[in-house]
Amino acid sequence: MVGLIFGSIPGLTFSMALALMLPFTFGMQTTPALGLLLGVYVGGMTGGSVSAILLGIPGTPSAAATVFDGYPMARKGEASVALGAAVIASTFGGLFSLVVMMLLLEQVAAVAIKFGPAEIFALVLFGLSTICGMAERSMLRGLIAGTLGLMLMIIGLDELDGVARLTFGTVQMQQGVNLLVAMIGLFAVPQIISTFMHYGRIEPFKMPADVRARLPSFRQLKDRLWLMVRCSGIGTGIGAIPGTGGPIAAFLAYDHARRFDRTPENYGKGELSGVVAPESANNAVTGGTMIPLLSLGIPGDPATAVILGGLLVHGLYPGPMLFRTHLELIYALYVSIVLAYVVILVVQLWGIRIFVKVLSVPPHVLAVCIIVLCGLGSYAIRNSIFDVYLMAVMGLFGYILQRVRIPVAPIVLGLVLGETLEKQYRTALIMTEGDYAVFYTSGVALFFFGLTALTIGLQLRSSLRRRPAVE
Amino acid sequence: MRLDRVDRWLGPCLLVLAIVWLWLVFAFIPGARGEGEPGPRAFPVLLGIVLVLLGGFVTASAFLPSASSTADETGRATRREVLIAAATFGLLMLYAFLLEKLGFLIATPVVVVLAMAGILRMRNWLLVAALAGGLTAACWMFFVWLLKAPLPRGLWLM
């Protein structure tokens, strides 16, 4: 429900919901804690379509492609059909990706168990290379953000030597910059400032009269079953590649649906396939992202980075050993995702009329509520007032970065992966007494170095092509 | 040719940050103990060098006409925007201070009232009071009663 609410409210991201919810899992057992996080993730991905269809404003970036045909359908009086189809397509995509995840996870993990420090370093470097993809428009700015994230990670006690790094004698700083505190500040505070800025300047949401979710006809769904399968495949594949995520999958699926439809001219005017395709694809991403996350410990997007943080907080280290030491948790995770989709299907189909009233809460009132949640969420992580101050500083930092067009997602990636990157690099060299050959004599390491170079090369080419002509 | 106004000061700022970072790293972090093995200083130094390169590239892109390529799409921050950003940051810092000194039950309504009446300049006092009281009560019930999570009780200005 929390994910659904955050996902459906424009401007509130489910990454923020995950970051705010994570402290609440500290007192829970591991399985319900995982269930809560995955429920928020799945709910957030699904909820984005509600405001996309009803208001023409995507609740999440992943729902942006749903606007093209969902909103015209709502304007034609078919809001309920679009909402119903979106919910069913989302559930189908999510469950499809779950099956693929169950089939592939152990195979990937079996290979990953043979990895040593050099291979893990190369792999994490590949994970970091996705920074280039996370930087929406400028690769250079993405790299700056990633470097800043790695610098923040440096602060605190060095794990290998036990040396305090840049703590300036303060005890609180020895624990370093907490990932969650940083994320709450970076994601939530700039949004609060933006909402305060626009207070009184934007019109409040107007609720459409028909907000009931009604199932589309069996024939409508049957005609689009093969489309849902294809788009779910696209979503799962895209999700398994770190640094891609829901928006890319949704747009690719939308483009695919239009390209192979007999009546492409209907797209953009309220075509049901234009809702089904992106919704099945963006929800299929949820299972796809779990493949590199659980088998290799690489988060594909900011939301899965928070989930990774949650796993670490509960003492679970994603990777091959997870399947040997905590197999029961892997099964619990599968069940959690299925349950989340079933609950969301029921909630959205039966409760949308009440639920969308949250959309009518004035954004500035929500922003004030979020200030309080930010403070309490930061405090709850370590019961430390210092973390509340740190969250405020990180929030200001995030706002300044936003002003200079530096994306914050790579900072999170730097914070999440930086520690492993440094530790494995140094461990590999300590084990070989400083022999750098360890990095280029391993076939696996070379493979990941090659992938890293390929990712950067492709992003660089795409970035250069996107550059606007300068007068 | 349009030069990117943001980059003209972003690049030099990054360079200054990188130089300060490198100075701090060399001043406060010890180097490696063994020969050939990277110590706790190696990675921070590498990051400082990377930031110098990135800052240099941004500076060059902004000041060299031939290298400039991105159009400036960010409007100059208005006085109102700067004030709101500063007020929000100040409010969060004040919230942290009040949580420590006065505790959650007093700090939260104070901050809600300051946000609504101070930053947003709302004069609907009924709504302000309702939100301040309601939000505090809801958070207390959710955190303390439901989740059994401890909230700051305050030092009462000690």
Please indicate whether residue B76 or residue A204 has the higher confidence score (pLDDT).
B76
pLDDT of residue B67: 47
Tell me the shortest Cα–Cα distance from A364 to chain B, in angstroms.
8
| pLDDT band, very low/low/confident/very high, at A354 (cuts 50, 70, 90) | low
Are B83 and B126 contained in the same domain? yes
| pLDDT band, very low/low/confident/very high, at A285 (cuts 50, 70, 90) | confident
Task: Round to whole Å and give the CA distance between A9 and A18.
Answer: 15
DSSP state of A55: T
pLDDT of residue B68: 46
3-state secondary structure of A164: strand
Q: B36 vs A395: CB contact, 8 Å cut-off?
A: no
Query: Taking the CB of residue A443, how many other CB atoms lie within 10 A of it?
Result: 8
Are B54 and B108 contained in the same domain? no
Contact in structure between A401 and A193 (CB atoms under 8 Å): no
ipTM: 0.89
Least confident among A92-96, A256-260, A273-277, B103-107: A256-260
pLDDT of residue A133: 58
| Residue B85 CA neighbour count, 13 Å, CB half | 20
Please indicate whether residue A112 or residue A259 has the higher confidence score (pLDDT).
A259
Q: What token pair was written down for A57?
A: 């404003």
Interchain contact A465–B (C-beta under 8 A): no
Angle between helices A179-197 and A409-431 (to 10 degrees): 160
| pLDDT band, very low/low/confident/very high, at B148 (cuts 50, 70, 90) | low
Cα-Cα-Cα-Cα dihedral of A319, A324, A326, A332, to 10°? 90
Question: Which residues lie closer than 8 Å to B57 by C-beta, 6 or more apart?
Answer: A140, B11
**pLDDT of A104 higher than 80:** no
Are B9 and B46 contained in the same domain? yes
| pLDDT band, very low/low/confident/very high, at B8 (cuts 50, 70, 90) | confident
pLDDT of residue A470: 38
**Average pLDDT of every residue of chain B:** 84
On whether residue B104 sits in a domain, the answer given is yes
Tell me the shortest Cα–Cα distance from A270 to chain B, in angstroms.
33
Task: Round to whole Å and give the CA distance between A197 and A192.
Answer: 9
Are B53 and B97 contained in the same domain? no
Interchain contact B75–A (C-beta under 8 A): no
Q: Using the 3D structure, point to which of B37, B63, B89 is the last residue of a domain.
A: B63
Task: Round to whole Å and give the CA distance between A378 and A390.
Answer: 9
Average pLDDT over residues A258-267: 77
**Average pLDDT of every residue of chain A:** 77
Interface A-B: count of C-beta contacts within 8 A: 173
**Rg of chain B taking only CA atoms, in angstroms:** 24
Q: Which of residues 2-31 of B touch A (CB under 8 A)?
A: 2, 6, 10, 14, 21, 24-25, 28-30
Contact in structure between A129 and A455 (CB atoms under 8 Å): yes
Residue A363 backbone dihedrals phi, psi, to 5 degrees: -55, -35
SS3 labels along A211-247: CCCCCCCHHHHHHCHHHHHHHHHHHHHHHHCCCCCHH
Q: B28 vs A165: CB contact, 8 Å cut-off?
A: yes
pLDDT of residue B147: 64
| pLDDT band, very low/low/confident/very high, at B1 (cuts 50, 70, 90) | very low
Q: B6 vs A404: CB contact, 8 Å cut-off?
A: yes
**Which residue in B19, B33, B35, B47 has the most chain A C-beta atoms within 10 A of its own C-beta, making it the best mutation to test that interface?**
B47
Please state, in angstroms and as integers, the Cα–Cα distance from residue A66 to each residue in A238, B99, B150, following that order: 18, 43, 42
Interchain contact A369–B (C-beta under 8 A): yes
On whether residue B36 sits in a domain, the answer given is yes
User: Chain centroid to CA A345: how far?
Assistant: 21
Are B50 and B96 contained in the same domain? no
**pLDDT of B158 higher than 60:** no
Give A10-50 pLDDT, tens digit per residue.
Answer: 545 677 677 777 777 777 777 777 777 878 877 777 777 77
Burial track A328-349 (b if 16+ CB lie within 10 A, e otherwise):
ebbebbbebbeebbeebbebbb
Are B46 and B91 contained in the same domain? no
Query: Taking the CB of residue A450, how many other CB atoms lie within 10 A of it?
Result: 12
pLDDT of residue A292: 74
pLDDT of residue A243: 53
Contact in structure between B5 and B72 (CB atoms under 8 Å): yes
Q: B86: nearest CA in chain A?
A: A396
DSSP state of A360: G
Q: Using the 3D structure, point to which of B20, B39, B63 is the last residue of a domain.
A: B63
Interchain contact A67–B (C-beta under 8 A): no
Interchain contact B39–A (C-beta under 8 A): yes
Interchain contact B110–A (C-beta under 8 A): no
Give A185-234 pLDDT, tens digit per residue.
Answer: 887 788 888 888 887 665 555 555 555 556 777 888 888 888 888 888 87
Average pLDDT over residues A253-267: 77
| pLDDT band, very low/low/confident/very high, at A114 (cuts 50, 70, 90) | low
Task: Round to whole Å and give the CA distance between A299 and A242.
Answer: 6
Tell me the shortest Cα–Cα distance from A264 to chain B, in angstroms.
34
Please indicate whether residue A196 or residue A245 has the higher confidence score (pLDDT).
A196
- Percent of chain B having pLDDT more than 70? 83
pLDDT of residue B45: 94
Q: What token pair was written down for B14?
A: 């990054």
Are B86 and B41 contained in the same domain? no
DSSP state of A163: -
In A130-198, which ranges are continuous DSSP H helix? 131-134, 139-154, 179-197
SS3 labels along B73-101: CCCCCCHHHHHHHHHHHHHHHHHHHHHHH
Task: Give the residue numbers spanning the domain of B49.
Answer: 5-63
**pLDDT of A467 higher than 60:** no
pLDDT of residue A471: 35
**Helix H or strand E segment including A156:** strand A156-157
On whether residue B130 sits in a domain, the answer given is yes
Average pLDDT over residues B14-43: 86
pLDDT of residue A97: 82
Domains identified in chain B, total number: 2
Top-confidence range, A96-110, A139-153, A280-294, B74-88: A139-153
On whether residue B72 sits in a domain, the answer given is no
**Which residue in B20, B41, B43, B73 has the most chain A C-beta atoms within 10 A of its own C-beta, making it the best mutation to test that interface?**
B43
Are B17 and B47 contained in the same domain? yes
Handedness of CA A338, A343, A345, A348 (dihedral sign): negative
On whether residue B74 sits in a domain, the answer given is no
Question: Which residues lie closer than 8 Å to B13 by C-beta, 6 or more apart?
Answer: B55
